[in-house]
Amino acid sequence: MKTEAREGKRDQSVSKVFVLDANKQKLNPVHPGRARILLSAGKAAVYRRYPLTIILKCAVESPQVQPLRIKLDPGSKTTGIAIVNDVSGEVAFAAELAHRGQTIKKSLDDKRAIRRSRRQRHTRYRKPRFDNRRNKDNGWVPPSLESRVCNVVTWVKRLMRVCSINAISQELVRFDMQAMENAEVSGIEYQQGTLQGYEVREYLLEKWHRSCGYCGTKDAPLQVEHVRPRAKLGTNRISNLVLACEPCNIKKGTQDIRVFLADKPDVLKYILARVKAPLSDAAAVNTTRRALFERLKALGVPVECGTGGRTKFNRVTRGFEKTHWIDAACVGASTPAHLHVKGIAPQLITANGHGSRQMCRMDRYGFPRTGPKRARQVRGFQTGDIVKAVVASGKKVGTYVGRVAVRTTGSFNITTKQGTVQGISHRTCVSVHRCDGYSYGQESPALQTPRKERLFPPMDKSHGFPGEGFL
């Protein structure tokens, strides 16, 4: 029993803290407990809050650094990110990145509406401008999708700056068409048929629009059904498979499809036509993922592609539940047999953008409502910075940490976990993390539970790095 407990403990791991040495050499990530000791002993300082990175105050001679792999599961709303040590199966870092596709579409619609209304108005003469649009070249994707691609590339680059990454894995396609056509192609899993089963299932879900081929229901669990039954020597080929709900599957049994659907000629015709038609490649490869793949290749690290079927196979055979970051950790053939995911809390990241580029607000009729926009920076701060304000006197005595909204008066608003506090003087504020276009969920445990108040070195306001003289 004792060994069992120890085994369980060994399986526990937590999201680690990235470490740089004094020369900004990348070292192995450490446990948050260790990071806390280093910080409180004054041997290290916080280099960056998100992702939490500490910088040692000494240089390390020829460090032994284990290479890590970044794994990505790109989604339309959320992208899962995991950093995995392929040798030990440890997940060093996990994150879930929420995109802002809808916001971008809305602001483009707003922009269009403003331009339309301006064209109807009598305004001063402007030189006609036409034919002034950029050509949509090969790598072009619509702005809302472009933002997703850029979000992911940004985070891959940020993570590559603080730990040694030697490979990237990305889920590129939903299913592997080639492997399905030709079962002998690749690897033992295909030959044993298990992995192939997952690819086939994903393919069929796409082909039959995630619904029962016979009755069209979408709510019931779906089973793979043979048009020509196995009992009558029907094959396992894709062109003999339909998805069916359990009642339909049982009702059909080993009947011939023409007998089963004798009174529904439309459905029969639809199924016979659909079953033969292969899915186009476009259904498997999504343009956003393809564009992301091209950009990741340009980072100079080998990129491994996985399929959705493979991800699901890896996740289900290891008995993990489905979350974005676990899916990311399960992407690709390189996934270690033992993956330690227990006890890991993903860093939640939300893309917020860098503010509006609109020069001034308008009224209902499209005329300027405010003066032109002022400078973004007020007294060295910018809306979106995470600051710590220590107010020593007055009505608002206390310590506030949160996202700041700057006002030109120098009296800021700070949004903390408890709510928004207004009228905090810029003099009491110290920058903790510079506005970088993202907002974050909970902090790393290395900073979360201070036994006593730790004092971080003063931040250099222009970079968000610990200031001069701390080394």
Q: Under the rule (CB under 5 A), what is the footprint of Zn ion?
A: 212, 214-215, 245, 248
CB of 93 to Zn ion, least distance (A): 44
Cα–Cα distance, 149 to 290 (Å, whole number): 10
209 SS3 class: coil
Which CB sits closer to Zn ion, 226 or 310?
Answer: 226
**Partners of 89 in beta bridges:** none
CB of 205 to Zn ion, least distance (A): 15
Which CB sits closer to Zn ion, 208 or 214?
Answer: 214
CB of 216 to Zn ion, least distance (A): 7
Which CB sits closer to Zn ion, 39 or 227?
Answer: 227
Tokens of 57: 């105050």
Which CB sits closer to Zn ion, 245 or 341?
Answer: 245
The single residue listed with the structure tokens 């006890």 is 343
Q: Are 82 and 320 in contact (CB under 8 A)?
A: no
The single residue listed with the structure tokens 């049982």 is 250
Question: In the chain, what's the furthest Cα-to-Cα distance?
Answer: 86
**Residue 26 has what DSSP assignment?**
B
Work out whether strand 386-391 and strand 429-433 pair parallel, antiparallel, or are unpaired: antiparallel
Residue type, 124: R
Which CB sits closer to Zn ion, 251 or 354?
Answer: 251
> Cis peptide before 51, with omega less than 30 degrees from 0?
yes
Which CB sits closer to Zn ion, 246 or 294?
Answer: 246
CB of 253 to Zn ion, least distance (A): 14
CB of 262 to Zn ion, least distance (A): 17
CB of 318 to Zn ion, least distance (A): 32
CB of 235 to Zn ion, least distance (A): 22
Which CB sits closer to Zn ion, 112 or 251?
Answer: 251
Task: Identify which of 426, 185, 428, 414 has the alpha carbon closest to the alpha carbon of residue 307.
Answer: 185
CB of 309 to Zn ion, least distance (A): 23
Give the start-end residues of each E strand in 155-302.
165-173, 222-226, 241-245
Which CB sits closer to Zn ion, 70 or 212?
Answer: 212
Cα–Cα distance, 456 to 350 (Å, whole number): 26
Which CB sits closer to Zn ion, 215 or 279?
Answer: 215
Sign for the CA dihedral angle at 327, 332, 337, 343 comes to negative
Number of helical (H) and strand (E) elements in the chain, helices listed first: 15, 17
The runs of H, that is alpha helices, within 226-337 are: 246-252, 257-260, 265-276, 281-284, 287-297, 308-317, 324-329
Task: Identify which of 12, 16, 116 has the alpha carbon closest to the alpha carbon of residue 446.
Answer: 16
Which CB sits closer to Zn ion, 223 or 383?
Answer: 223
**Residue 30 has what DSSP assignment?**
B
CB of 212 to Zn ion, least distance (A): 3
Q: What residues have CB less than 8 Å from 128, skipping those under 6 apart?
A: none
CB of 245 to Zn ion, least distance (A): 4
> Cis peptide before 458, with omega less than 30 degrees from 0?
no
**Partners of 433 in beta bridges:** 386
Radius of gyration of the chain from its Cα atoms, rounded to whole angstroms: 28
